[in-house]
């Protein structure tokens, strides 16, 4: 239900009330500009939302804050009124049926299998360096060597992206892979991370939404966009028009599908964009401290999940006393059909097989989630297709931004910054 009358002054339509859309709205408000958010769900937040089940707080798997900029850090600290706690990463890799510290390329020597260790050392001593890396495979071989590539990098990334790594470009996700050129005490962008001290990650979008609530339409799924009339069709054939600017945070393929009169070559390019979906299982366990890590990585293709994380190790306030909570993530290829009940059961069996759970552990809370657009796939046609889409959107004056609107790999701080930039451009 609408809570206000649409003002006829110059204004911006914001499609999607996730972090990027809420950030765009906040920064437009700061600049004294009119806007209206269209959000299809009953509450804003998108994938930064949370759930409460049997006194357990679950997120859409692990959603943690990593700060690269002073602006992002100070903005979020002020927004959450310092309701933040810092964690120093504890992570492990399951390799050759044992656990070693993360990252694999730094700690492989701790494996009991000395043949694997020797192979990794040999590859690291003679990496396959090139002047130019044309594929993700070439980049990995050039930065970590053939042994590390064979025993972890290739199986893990092929499991996650559901394709061979010579079919992927060498940028995008590579920015999040720890490099070994310089010895460091801490490797990777996520060696420290932040999370609400009280409550789940939804505290972040809730704080933003509270500041723009009076200009947000909930349960208002966008059904069509007329770029000429600057009109948005939403809900049950309702219309809102007169928008001078349109900021979309919708997944790029969905945005193009909604635009009236989009050329065939543009629609074709959007359909060719590749992505990975994720089936996630949230579990509340009737035993405390089931693991010491924040998360674990699994490259073995026989194991269903590629990662398991522990909410209860991030914040004890996310679960009742004497319990633990976790999430397990399974990569699903674009458009792949699967039986969620069978996948959930396989996850539970694999959790026991890998020692994460014990046979006698009781599951006292359970939630299955399907995230259609989870990871952008940087295939060899990524640049070509994206250029077609960006050129068209620029012509019709629609700003498409955020992780899925910009069709990139990014974190929550990036979503805030993307929204800020979009507000400045509108």
- Is pLDDT of 171 > 90? no
pLDDT, one tens digit per residue, over 183-203 is 566 777 778 999 999 999 999
Q: Write the DSSP symbol of residue 379.
A: B
**What is the spatial distance between Cα 358 and Cα 344, in angstroms, rounded to a whole number?**
16
Q: Where are the domains of the chain?
A: 11-50+198-272+381-425, 105-183, 275-376
pTM of the model: 0.94
Sign of the alpha-carbon dihedral angle for 95, 98, 104, 107: negative
| CA atoms within 13 A of residue 305's CA, in its CB half-sphere | 30
- Class of 275-376 per CATH? alpha beta
Topology match between the domains 11-50+198-272+381-425 and 275-376:
no
Q: What pLDDT, on a 0 to 100 scale, did the predictor assign at position 9? A: 53
Q: What is the chain's percent helix, strand, coil content, to nearest 5? A: 35, 25, 40
- Is pLDDT of 85 > 80? yes
- Is pLDDT of 283 > 90? yes
For the domain spanning 11-50+198-272+381-425, the CATH number is 3.50.50.60
């Amino acid at each position: 239900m609408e809570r206000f009358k649409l003002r006829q002054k110059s204004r911006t339509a914001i499609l999607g009330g996730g972090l990027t859309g809420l950030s765009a709205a906040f920064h437009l408000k700061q600049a004294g500009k009119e806007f209206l958010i269209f959000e299809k769900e009953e509450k804003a937040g998108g994938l930064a939302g949370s759930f409460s089940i049997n006194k357990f707080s679950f997120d859409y798997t692990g959603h943690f804050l990593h700060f690269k900029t002073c602006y992002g850090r100070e903005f979020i600290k002020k927004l959450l009124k310092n309701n933040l706690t810092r964690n120093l990463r504890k992570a492990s890799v399951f390799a050759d049926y044992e656990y070693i510290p993360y990252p694999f390329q730094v700690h492989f020597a701790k494996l009991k299998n000395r043949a694997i260790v020797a192979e990794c050392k040999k590859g690291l001593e003679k990496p396959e360096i090139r002047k130019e890396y044309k594929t993700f495979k070439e980049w990995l071989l050039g930065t970590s060597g053939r042994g590390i590539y064979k025993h972890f990098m290739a199986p893990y990334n092929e499991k996650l992206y559901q394709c061979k790594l010579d079919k992927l470009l060498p940028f995008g996700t590579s920015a999040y892979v720890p490099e070994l050129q310089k010895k460091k005490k801490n490797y990777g962008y996520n060696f420290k991370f932040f999370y609400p001290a009280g409550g789940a990650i939804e505290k972040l979008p809730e704080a933003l939404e509270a500041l723009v609530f009076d200009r947000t339409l909930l349960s208002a799924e966008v059904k069509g966009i007329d770029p000429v009339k600057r009109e948005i069709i939403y809900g049950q054939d309702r219309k809102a028009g007169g928008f001078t600017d349109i900021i979309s945070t919708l997944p790029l393929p969905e945005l193009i599908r909604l635009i009236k009169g989009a050329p065939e070559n543009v629609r074709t390019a959007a359909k060719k964009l590749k992505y990975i979906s994720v089936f996630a299982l949230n579990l509340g366990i009737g035993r405390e401290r089931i693991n010491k890590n924040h998360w674990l990585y699994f490259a073995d293709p026989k194991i269903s999940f590629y990662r398991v994380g522990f909410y209860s190790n991030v914040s004890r306030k996310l679960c009742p006393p004497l319990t633990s909570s976790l999430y397990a993530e399974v990569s699903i290829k674009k458009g792949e059909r699967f039986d969620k009940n069978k996948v959930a059961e396989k996850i539970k069996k694999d959790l026991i097989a890998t020692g994460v759970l014990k046979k006698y552990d009781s599951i006292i809370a359970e939630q299955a989630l399907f995230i259609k657009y989870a990871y952008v796939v940087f295939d060899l046609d990524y640049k070509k297709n994206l250029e077609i889409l960006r050129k068209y959107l620029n012509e019709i004056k629609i700003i498409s931004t955020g992780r899925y609107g910009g069709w990139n790999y990014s974190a929550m701080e990036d979503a805030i910054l993307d929204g800020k930039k979009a507000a400045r451009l509108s």
